[in-house]
Amino acid sequence: MIHTTLSLIEKEAMGEGFYLFETTNPFQRKAPQPGQFLHIKIEGTLLRRPISLAGATEERLRLFFAVKGKGTSLLAQTKQGDTLDVIGPLGRPFSFYDYDNILLAAGGVGIGPILFLAETALKQKKKFTLLYGAKKSSELFQKILPEGKYEKILCTDDGSTGKKGTVPYLISLYSADKPYTAIYASGPYFMLKEIADLSLKTGIPAYVALETRMFCGMGVCQGCVVASNDGYQRVCKDGPVFPVSALSWPEDPWI
């Protein structure tokens, strides 16, 4: 990790309150990995805000986020050419291990890290299915999905685009006759919790990228912990990617 600045090259407002940023890539020595995030200083809030990386090339980074509160709303006002003060890349990334024929599952704004992961999977010539769901059609952004050879399944809660149903529902439907070797997911807490249950039932290992409130983002303050089978773990440093089997999944989400 380093403390540095980057500048916004392109900004695209998508649907209601979603943003795709393309920025310069200041991390020349250590390439960011899927699942990692940047801790971004926001003018107008006290704390930095952790934002997932949605892609990286040698020259550019992509950030995808949804406006959820004051921080993301201020971040959305960044203009082309503006400089952002960032610390990164942070967190433990996804790893494919030796898995092939894998399922990448994204819900809502969770498509950010999954996009990055899908691009990496394409580069590594992994066989994979991308399952991407959102509440409704206007929150499902097909044009940001990478081109290439992979199976794509879209779904919406109301059926307005793709299959009707939630991401976990469709996983349970599809994994019955297509034995994926592993599931990689990012999305809202309850989606991940259902995937954790499913993983436990079917024995298919699953890895998820968590999102929670953070303070330092660098592993020192212990503010962003979640309960695991081995005490509390820091989302920023021990995660944000965890195997679902390592965590306990309380009824109450962490944030």
Partner 1 sequence: MDLTTMLGKIEMATPVLPASGTFGYGNELVEVIPYSMLGAIVTKTLTWHPRQGNPPGRITECGDTLINSIGLQNIGVKEFCEEALPKIVRLQKPIIASVGGDDPDGMLKTVEYLNTEEITAIELNLSCPNLGTTRLVAQDPEAIKKSVANARSLTLKPLIAKLTPHVADIAETGLAAEEAGANILCAGNTFKGIVFDWKKETLLAGGVSGKGIFPLALRTVYDLYQAVTIPIIGMGGISEASDALAMILLGATAIGIGTTMLIDPNLPEKVCQVISEYMKKKSITRINDLVGIKNGKKNYSGSY
Interaction site with partner 1 (CB under 8 A): 1-3, 41, 45-48, 87, 212-216, 218-227, 231-232, 254-255
Best CA proximity match to 31, nearest among 84, 93, 78, 100: 93
Q: Measured in whole angstroms, how far is the alpha carbon of residue 223 from the centre of its chain?
A: 20
CB nearer to partner 1: pick between 46 and 176 = 46
Place of tokens 């610390």: 87
CB nearer to partner 1: pick between 41 and 126 = 41
Q: Provide the minimum distance between the beta carbon of 228 and partner 1 in the complex, in angstroms, as a whole number.
A: 11
CB nearer to partner 1: pick between 80 and 222 = 222
Q: Provide the minimum distance between the beta carbon of 223 and partner 1 in the complex, in angstroms, as a whole number.
A: 4
Q: Provide the minimum distance between the beta carbon of 211 and partner 1 in the complex, in angstroms, as a whole number.
A: 13
CB nearer to partner 1: pick between 12 and 43 = 43
The helix/strand count (H/E) of the chain reads as 4, 15
Best CA proximity match to 192, nearest among 183, 181, 182, 204: 183
Q: Provide the minimum distance between the beta carbon of 147 and partner 1 in the complex, in angstroms, as a whole number.
A: 36
In degrees, to the nearest 5, what angle opens at C-alpha 138 toward C-alphas 57 and 112? 25
CA distance 243 to 97: 12
Q: Provide the minimum distance between the beta carbon of 244 and partner 1 in the complex, in angstroms, as a whole number.
A: 17
Q: Measured in whole angstroms, how far is the alpha carbon of residue 152 from the centre of its chain?
A: 17
CB nearer to partner 1: pick between 115 and 208 = 208
Q: Provide the minimum distance between the beta carbon of 33 and partner 1 in the complex, in angstroms, as a whole number.
A: 16
Please tell me whether residue 138 adopts helix, strand or coil conformation: helix
CB nearer to partner 1: pick between 83 and 101 = 83
Whether residue 240 has a cis bond before it, omega within 30° of 0: yes
CA distance 14 to 18: 5
